[in-house]
Structure 1
Amino acid sequence: MNLTKKHLWASITLTAALLLTACNAEEEQLKNDVQKQTADVVTIDNEGVKIEYGEAPTKAISINQHVTEVMLALGLEDSMVGTAYLDDEIYEPLQNAYAKVPVLAEQYPSKEQIIASEADFIYGGWASAFDEKKVVSREELQQLDIGSYLQSSSVKVAPTLEDVYADIRNIAKIFRVNEQGEQLIAEMNEDIEAITSKIPTGEDPLDVLVFDSGETDIFTATQNFMNTLVSMAGGQNIFGDIEDNWATVSKEDAVERSPEVIVVIDYGSTTAEEKIAFLKADPALKQMPAVQNERFVILPLSAASEGVRVAEALEILAKGFYPKAF
């Protein structure tokens, strides 16, 4: 009888131990699953909007060319259901990838087009991409359970190359392609170094006017990424002292600052050649040394933007500023 009780007690004790072990194992597995899920969540605080991405988007839309090219350069074309708003031809190395993505609109897509595409992520290059009067606000996108990202380097004053890289890293993180992001940045750095190493040193930087548009006044780059590119290429933006991204300045002010080179931004319905013809014909602007010496550099807006074409933009600028070095 006592032996039976001992066996029964031992059996009960063993069963309890096994149950406890199983419960502990289950609890540990649940804890690990929760930790893994938490680790998989990517939280991005982007221009005042904080969004958690529990998984990589699979139906993304890019709006504005330079961010479209960031997506394609990261190899994300298969995760895209649409793109919109080109400034000019897509970057040549990315054209095959671009051909795989539906074009939703020549300019901004409508809210209805976005919803019909069943998009789960919108990547905007300029703040206007999320203008509720033109497309849809980021707040409304959140209500529709659609993630979003605005290119920070395109809206901040005085962006640096590192700011562009921060945007690339954020997109790579959201889409879980961190390795591709670092590889892209490394390749960009290598290409940039190959260009900047040829730029003469020990000389005073050239005074440069960035001419976007304007007839009565001049719409010009101040402290946006164009200012950074001009500096990297060995120039000095004559309106780089204005704390803004873009500004409208008077012709008289431009003439007084005597630019040695004019960078003409090429986009839209007015061609770069037409802009140059205007500069040459205008009674005030034709007095500038850059016009008199015909020192014009044509730069596509797509290359000048905060994207993957920094080396291309630098090469165009540096060759125009210091042709003998190239």
Structure 2
Amino acid sequence: MRQRNKMIYTWKQKIWVAMLCLLGSALAACSQGEQAVTNGTAAVSGQQTEETEVTLTNMGRTITYSAPPQRAVALNQHATEVMLALGLQDVMVGTAYLDDQILPEYQEAYEQVPVLADEYPSKEVFLAANPDFAYAGWKSAFTEKQLGTVEELAEMGIKTYIQESSNITAPTVEDVYEDIRNIGRIFRVEERADQLIDQMKREMEAITRQLGPVEQPLRVFVYDSGEDKPYTAANNYMTPLIELAGGKNIFDDIEKGWAEVSWEEVVARRPDVIVIMDYGKKTVQQKRDLLLARKGLSEVPAIQNKRFIVLPLSAAAEGIRAPIALETLARGFYPERFEQ
């Protein structure tokens, strides 16, 4: 935003105002011309350069952003990294709920942003930052028990955006790109958003080219957590990533994002590979040991061959780490195709 304000005085506008003055316009007219440019409105051929309103539909709600937010809070890591990747750290007054380390290329920018809490901040801490915009990766941020509903925040003058690809059933990678585009529109940095998306697409296309065609996709079980019953990725963002990497999510027929299933059903679907989600109180080693010790799973090919892939939640979330997640999965599924 600071850069945009500086750009208001473009060289064309300055020359135009000067020409008006040289052509004999009264001093008052010159003064008015300067004032018009200063206010971000150039009266050139009836065109206005002031920022227009942006109206988006987000999670079923239509929201109008009359101007780019000046005091934004990003909640959840993938939301924070989208903002940092778009160069928006200067308008961020807070961040919260990291699952992992920030990507190294954004660490310096991240250090400029106050950390409000390890998880969701209290309402008091959140409001003390005096935000005019809150961007959440998960809709759980905007509840009465957390920061307040989106309706309540709107009444306080705080606009919101929820990462839609993280909160719908059967999202695609294109849905993630659309979220990035929307943040670009809200902050009037559409060009940066397009460049980021193009970069992500190029990286993912390079990975799939190296992978090559897969005739028989591997059967993949995503283990998130759970002992009595496993909690797994169903029809969510992991499914298209697994497909791009040459696999098939064995629980993609469940019409939910994440679901609790039975161990008996895991055995029946005979996964070739198990993807362990790295987050939470249990370590990856503890999760791996649980799977290896579980009665009945010894018949599963993935257990027999000890084929485990570790994927951090930060990479599995719907954000800028899609190329990282895809490469992790593809290399884990078909390491021989990536040997140098």
1:316 paired to 2:328: yes
Match of 1:139 in 2: 151
Write the mapping of 1:74-223 to structure 2, written as runs, cut at 5 A: 74-223=86-235
Equivalent of 1:72 in 84, 87, 96: 84
Q: What secondary structure sits across from 1:198 in the alignment?
A: helix
Find the counterpart in structure 2 of residue 50 from structure 1.
62
| 8 A Cα contact 1:303 1:309, kept in partner | yes
For the 8 Å contact 1:59–1:119, the answer to whether it is kept is yes
User: Among 244, 247, 266, which residue is 2:259 paired with?
Assistant: 247
The amino acid across from 1:144 in the alignment is: M
1:288 to 288, 296, 300: 300
Deviation at 1:114, TM superposition (A): 1.8
Give the whole-Å Cα distance in 2 for the aligned partners of 1:286 and 1:267: 25
2: distance between equivalents of 1:276 and 1:237? 19
Q: Shift in Å at residue 237 of structure 1? A: 0.3
Structure 1 residue 32, shift from structure 2 partner: 5.0
1:302 maps to 314
- Structure 1 residue 92: Cα displacement: 2.1
Structure 2: gaps spanning 5 or more residues = 1-28, 30-42
**Contact in 2 for aligned 1:66/1:302 (Cα 8 Å):** yes
Runs of 4+ in 1 over 6 A off after TM superposition: none
5 Å matches for 1:224-263?
224-263=236-275
> What is the rounded CA distance, in whole Å, between the counterparts of 1:177 and 1:192 in structure 2?
23
Superposed CA offset, 1:255-298 (max 9, x none): 01000000000001111111001000111223311011010000
What is the alpha-carbon root mean square deviation over aligned residues?
1.9
In structure 1, distance between residues paired with 2:297 and 2:306:
12
- The residue aligned with 1:15 is none
Residue ranges of structure 1 left out of the alignment (5+ in a row): 1-21, 23-28
Distance 1:56 1:143, change over 3 A: same
Q: 2:72 aligns with which of 49, 54, 60?
A: 60
Residue 279, structure 1, aligned to residue 291, structure 2: yes
Q: Is the 8 A contact 1:303 1:312 kept in 2?
A: yes
AA aligned opposite 1:320:
G
- Secondary structure (helix, strand or coil) at the match of 2:275 reads strand
Q: Identity, % of aligned pairs?
A: 53
SS in 2 for 1:197: helix
Partners of 1:291 and 1:93 lie apart in 2 by 37
Instruction: State the match for 2:9 in structure 1.
Output: none
| Range moving further from structure 2, 311-320 or 281-290 | 281-290
Structure of greater Rg:
1
Q: Is the 8 A contact 1:319 1:325 kept in 2?
A: yes
- The alignment covers a number of residue pairs equal to 299
Deviation of 1:200 after TM superposition, in Å, equals 3.4
